[in-house]
Structure 1
Amino acid sequence: MLVDLRISDLKGPAQEFPLLRSTTGLVTLILRNCNITGEIPAYIWRFRELQMLDVSFNRLVGTIPNRIARKLKLVFVAGNMLSGNIPDALLRDGGNIDLSYNNFTLQGPDEPACQSNTGNRIINLYKGSSTLSTLQRILPCTRDVVCPKYKCSLHVNCGGNDLTVRESKRRIIYEGDSGGDFSRYLSGNYWGFTSTGDFIDEPTYQDSRLINITPTTNISDLYSTARLSPLSLVYFHYCLENGSYNVSLHFAEILFTNDSTYNRLGKRMFDIYIQEKLVWKDFNIEDEAGGARKPVVEYFNATVTDGMLEIRFYWASKGTIRIPNRGDYGSLISAISVIPTFKVCSHGNKKNTTAYIVAAVLTVCVIFSILGILWWKGLMGRKRVGKDFEGLELQTVAFSLKQIRAATNNFDAANKIGEGGFGSVYKGQLSDGTIIAVKQLSSRSRQGNREFLNEIGMISCLQHPNLVKLYGCCIEGDQLLVVYEYMENNSLAHVLFDSNVSQLMLDWPTRFRICIGIARGLAFLHEESRLRIVHRDIKATNVLLDKDLSPKISDFGLARLNEDEKTHISTKVAGTIGYIAPEYALWGYLTDKVDVYSFGIVILEIVSGKSNNNYMPSHSFICLLDWASHLQESKNIDELVDERLGSQVNREEAERVVKIALLCTNATPSLRPTMSEIVQMLEGKMEIPEVTPEGSKYTNDVRFKAMKDFHQQRQNQSSVWTQSQNSTIIRTDVAYSSSTSASGFNEISRNTISYL
């Protein structure tokens, strides 16, 4: 009779849960990180003898049933997509239950699961629900999760107590993590850790262990303690200032030794993730340190964009399991140090703190003096904003029309760098030398000036590395102006489709990085920002490239300025033919899946170097998407890749991008992934679900109907419409109904820039 089945970390294609119905005598079942999809069969939960179930880090969906075998006390389902309520049957006394990194329904601290961490019972809910805010996801059982203040450094003595260490003539306090709850210790300084797994065959439940030895000449106090985890160990810091940080991870192998006994046979390998990105696979402390009981420090960079830093150590079942002891395997970490690369933080030094305070006070005084002079000379637009804004607290910089005219040489045509559905764009230079882009919004906005300021104020709060930064605005008379950072390399469309003009050729690594950057920006707008925004018009012209060719999404939030109502049904569709999702174009149904569809089109253009609107490979295919669907169906994706790239293409990455694009452009919105899932797919952290190609054989496919209508209209009216020197795009700024045709679209030059 099979009683113990342990399989982990298999590479290969996705597979369904194995058929185990006849193995009713199973006591231990481990199917960890095996790329398993679908649901966990209900009969698994009812095996009478089953004591341990570990199916963590797969792609499982579905719910956990209310009926669960009473002997089942160890349940590890971390890193899946399970949903629904947490059944009471899991909340029994004595057990180790890990529900982290899932999509369960959690209502907050009153959840029964939040009352269950007592005695020998451990319930891990870290990031167990995607329906909560960022802070509530990591701390679902804490009331009123807010950040009264923000930190900018972290020093942890893993497995030990508070320890003062002298570094670079400064005394650093490394906070210990040995107190409090073993698995979810929370510090008053906004950090904590969570560990999952169990040392198999050990008599007690332990999701981590504290390791300590006597310090020696080779091992200082900082390396004489460590925390050991049997599966996955996460250290996190919330309420952290956004910015770039240096992360130092301190290691020393203090369990396995260099002596002549069996201890020297020990071998430890584990993976390191920072901000959910794999930064080191199969890390081996002894190899990097040059032996056991020798310290080694590994350095990494991390970027914080939502106040949250996460460092994870994952044991992938590699190395020694039973030598020297059964409970000595897993990931091992001695200390963690996180220091900002920016200079607004003091690192805990009182003298530095005083210096920064003095510098800040002086800076504020200088700024107020300059503003006073500008105000006195009439160069500040505050007093010209109008009576409508008296008492209104502006959330962004108010430029005067005089400043903007001076910067753009009175909106000289020579400074015009773009035209879009929301207005013209001009390049300008402020008196301090700052290069700016000024969007002159059209006067047809339905909102008043006060509402305009409120909207711009909220948009200005949205800051992300992949979003164009807003500097401020100007309102005088009938002028509505928005000021943004200037993008040196124009738009993605300009570089991709007009390479002869731009004289830029994007290699494959840059294109792949752009795909990920756009996805991250959209994920921020949809799921992470305080103000949830559906862009509505994602396309290559609305993706701008800075001097480093990093992508920044423009025009986000401006569609809100033209809204008539706040429902999910939009009576006025804002978008571009060829990029608009069918449910939005035909019925005005607006969700974030509209942006997902458009993103799919854009990454197809990035792979192929061709415009979805203006490329027709033959009369059989109406657009790039139509052709790509056919190539996917016929297994000829290589034909889609831009021939200018030659052989310098990572074929695996290119295939991944095309598969994701076709998944994003599924005609059924519910089958499209979320942007956060897309980021994980692009980075290789999540498998791409198999999709059924929807090629041109489906002649009535709604995805292609609008394009076919548009091309027919353009052919019929070619004698009336004049073509500009460059190719064209079509913006939809008119009202839609289910019978709307393409004939009402405005034609605008594609060789332009659109900001925000």
Structure 2
Amino acid sequence: MGNCWGGPVKTESTFRSLFASGAVFSCLGVNSKSQSREGKTLSGSSSKVSAASVPATPLSEDDILQSVNVKSFTFNELKTATRNFRPDSVLGEGGFGSVFKGWIDEHTFAAAKPGTGMVIAVKKLNQEGVQGHREWLTEVNYLGQLSHRHLVKLIGYCLEDEQRLLVYEFMPRGSLENHLFRRSSYVQPLSWNLRMKIALGAAKGLAFLHSDMAKVIYRDFKTSNVLLDSNYNAKLSDFGLAKDGPTDDKSHVSTRIMGTHGYAAPEYLATGHLTTKSDVYSFGVVLLEMLSGRRALDNNRPTGEHNLVEWARPYLGSKRKIFRVLDARLERQYSPDGARKAAVLAFQCLSLEASYRPTMDQVVAALEELQDATDIGMSPRNEQKSNGQSISSNPHKSTPRRRSEELPHRRKATRAVESSSASPSSHQVKRRIAVAC
């Protein structure tokens, strides 16, 4: 590892000098200018914005709903598909409302009998909840146009009288939050290899959003918004707080401060200036949660350990102390070198200065190097076999999420993009939602 691991990094200024010289990515085994292992840039990939005739700048609800390439369901269709929104079909709860399991015909999308056809997840707006029509419309706008293997697929929506619903592909293994923090005999701790696989998939999803293809800032990256399919492939969900990124020569978007406590970048909390590096900080928090098995905020911890980032930061820059942070449930499944590299990456993503954080392309490249490393532990395929039966009885049941809400103004707080069908020119993806903050 050379001098980059010669001793503990005691101050962030020391780490900045490593970043400026490229030594951080040398430690990670990644060129600081690397885009991906395949040598392709995101902007040159063919992952798609799915609607072939997306209006350049939809300005109204009607424009947005007409521009998206998804099905418009009636309320009765979704009522039938979910067996009248029966309580025993609830998959999870969130700030938006409840998510129900349902079934539709995979060809006609008509409601189907339970256990037949295609399984779906139907998110039903709680009219008394924190999120409302604006967030619902924002999610339709983004997921109705963007398509990528690491974004949850939006199948359709329902807008009828006061009813607001969204219909997604079903994610059998539920949220990353459940796998990390739910203590149950039905959910086994994720292995090191699976955690790195999930981190890479989520990073690819963010990298696509930040690319010239989409130019979107996610703004609410957290474990409850990372969902897992049957093979533990990560997909980003809940785009209610997403924003179009800066255009022309602008460096940021000025916006009302929204998000989730513990995940928001410090400069965003202080100024309301939102950049892609805000998402990188949030990714660093989630990566740290995956390494430690601890929540970003946990008042049940001893004094001094309530805030995960503040507690872990002094250890992340130390070659020897990093192991104090790692989740004991991993039982040394990782190689010491792999653990240190992951810790370096998390530490850099959590830099207090946004300019010293890597881009998500660089994060993807670093995580791909970790995937290539020979680590001690159970392979993802073997873990799927060992975990499959234990989760299947209620695969998507979710503990209550910490709600996304407006944060106090002064509170301290991809490998290349997988291809889909043909992609339109970049100007087709630049959207402006009049109702959004």
Question: Fold match, TM over 0.5?
Answer: yes
CA deviations 1:377-415 (Å, max 9, x no partner) are: xxxxxxxxxx96899465211111111001112222222
Q: Name the counterpart of 2:255.
A: 570
Q: Name the counterpart of 2:77.
A: 403
SS state at 1:537 partner: coil
Cα distance change of structure 1 residues 680 and 407 upon mapping to structure 2, 3 Å threshold: same
Q: Name the counterpart of 1:554.
A: 237
- Measured in 2, the distance between the counterparts of 1:390 and 1:728 equals 30
Aligned residue type for 1:425: V
Cα distance change of structure 1 residues 561 and 427 upon mapping to structure 2, 3 Å threshold: farther
- Measured in 2, the distance between the counterparts of 1:521 and 1:680 equals 13
Q: How does 1:353-368 map to 2 (within 5 A)?
A: none
Q: Name the counterpart of 1:421.
A: 95
Q: Name the counterpart of 1:676.
A: 361
Q: Name the counterpart of 2:406.
A: 734
- Measured in 1, the distance between the counterparts of 2:43 and 2:164 equals 35
Q: How does 1:608-623 map to 2 (within 5 A)?
A: 608-614=292-298, 618-623=302-307
Compute the displacement of 1:569 (Å): 1.4
Q: How does 1:333-344 map to 2 (within 5 A)?
A: none
Q: Name the counterpart of 2:218.
A: 535
Contact 2:253 2:273 in 1 (8 A): yes
SS state at 2:164 partner: strand
Residue among 143, 154, 158 paired with 1:459:
143
Cα distance change of structure 1 residues 394 and 522 upon mapping to structure 2, 3 Å threshold: closer
Cα distance change of structure 1 residues 422 and 608 upon mapping to structure 2, 3 Å threshold: same
Q: Name the counterpart of 1:470.
A: 154
Aligned residue type for 1:665: L
- Measured in 1, the distance between the counterparts of 2:78 and 2:336 equals 48
Contact 1:455 1:561 in 2 (8 A): no
- Measured in 2, the distance between the counterparts of 1:80 and 1:651 equals 23
Q: Percent identity?
A: 34
- Measured in 2, the distance between the counterparts of 1:394 and 1:645 equals 43
- Measured in 1, the distance between the counterparts of 2:124 and 2:225 equals 16
- Measured in 2, the distance between the counterparts of 1:541 and 1:515 equals 13
Cα distance change of structure 1 residues 441 and 532 upon mapping to structure 2, 3 Å threshold: farther
SS state at 1:500 partner: coil
Compute the displacement of 1:467 (Å): 1.3
- Measured in 1, the distance between the counterparts of 2:242 and 2:366 equals 30
Aligned length: 335
Cα distance change of structure 1 residues 488 and 455 upon mapping to structure 2, 3 Å threshold: closer
Contact 2:269 2:412 in 1 (8 A): no
Aligned residue type for 1:427: K
For the pair 1:658 / 2:330, whether they are aligned, the reply is no
Contact 2:218 2:243 in 1 (8 A): no
SS state at 1:480 partner: strand
Cα distance change of structure 1 residues 728 and 623 upon mapping to structure 2, 3 Å threshold: farther
SS state at 1:683 partner: helix
Cα distance change of structure 1 residues 419 and 681 upon mapping to structure 2, 3 Å threshold: same
CA deviations 1:346-365 (Å, max 9, x no partner) are: xxxxxxxxxxxxxxxxxxxx
Aligned residue type for 2:241: A
- Measured in 1, the distance between the counterparts of 2:242 and 2:284 equals 23
Cα distance change of structure 1 residues 655 and 481 upon mapping to structure 2, 3 Å threshold: same
Compute the displacement of 1:514 (Å): 1.0
Cα distance change of structure 1 residues 306 and 546 upon mapping to structure 2, 3 Å threshold: same
Q: How does 1:58-207 map to 2 (within 5 A)?
A: 81=33, 134-135=43-44
For the pair 1:513 / 2:422, whether they are aligned, the reply is no
TM-score, length of structure 1 as denominator length: 0.40
SS state at 1:464 partner: coil
Q: Name the counterpart of 1:4.
A: none
- Measured in 2, the distance between the counterparts of 1:741 and 1:643 equals 29
- Measured in 1, the distance between the counterparts of 2:352 and 2:19 equals 26
Let me know the Cα RMSD of the aligned residues.
Answer: 3.8
Compute the displacement of 1:655 (Å): 1.3
Q: Which runs of 5+ in 2 are unaligned?
A: 6-17, 50-60, 105-111, 245-249, 371-397, 414-437
SS state at 1:647 partner: coil
- Measured in 2, the distance between the counterparts of 1:614 and 1:588 equals 25
SS state at 1:421 partner: coil
SS state at 1:626 partner: helix
Contact 2:294 2:308 in 1 (8 A): yes
TM-score, length of structure 2 as denominator length: 0.67
Higher normalized helix content (fraction of residues)? 2
- Measured in 2, the distance between the counterparts of 1:389 and 1:553 equals 25
Residue among 276, 286, 290 paired with 1:606:
290
Contact 1:423 1:439 in 2 (8 A): yes
- Measured in 1, the distance between the counterparts of 2:193 and 2:90 equals 32
Structure with max Cα Rg: 1
Contact 2:292 2:325 in 1 (8 A): yes
Q: Name the counterpart of 1:172.
A: none
- Measured in 2, the distance between the counterparts of 1:519 and 1:640 equals 21
- Measured in 1, the distance between the counterparts of 2:400 and 2:134 equals 30
Compute the displacement of 1:12 (Å): 4.7
Cα distance change of structure 1 residues 589 and 423 upon mapping to structure 2, 3 Å threshold: farther
- Measured in 2, the distance between the counterparts of 1:546 and 1:523 equals 19
- Measured in 2, the distance between the counterparts of 1:390 and 1:37 equals 42
Contact 2:218 2:242 in 1 (8 A): no
Q: Name the counterpart of 2:180.
A: 496
CA deviations 1:119-161 (Å, max 9, x no partner) are: xxxxxxx98xx8xx824xxxxxxxxxxxxxxxxxxxxxxxxxx
Compute the displacement of 1:728 (Å): 6.8
Contact 1:447 1:561 in 2 (8 A): no
Aligned residue type for 2:175: S
Compute the displacement of 1:630 (Å): 2.0
Cα distance change of structure 1 residues 447 and 641 upon mapping to structure 2, 3 Å threshold: closer
SS state at 1:409 partner: coil
- Measured in 2, the distance between the counterparts of 1:551 and 1:389 equals 31
Contact 2:123 2:166 in 1 (8 A): yes
Compute the displacement of 1:540 (Å): 0.9
Higher normalized strand content (fraction of residues)? 1
Compute the displacement of 1:479 (Å): 1.2
Greater RCO (CA < 8 Å, at least 6 residues apart): 2
Q: How does 1:280-429 map to 2 (within 5 A)?
A: 305=47, 392=66, 395-429=69-103
Q: Which runs of 5+ in 1 are unaligned?
A: 1-10, 16-34, 40-57, 60-78, 82-100, 103-125, 136-237, 243-304, 308-386, 686-725, 743-756
Cα distance change of structure 1 residues 736 and 80 upon mapping to structure 2, 3 Å threshold: closer
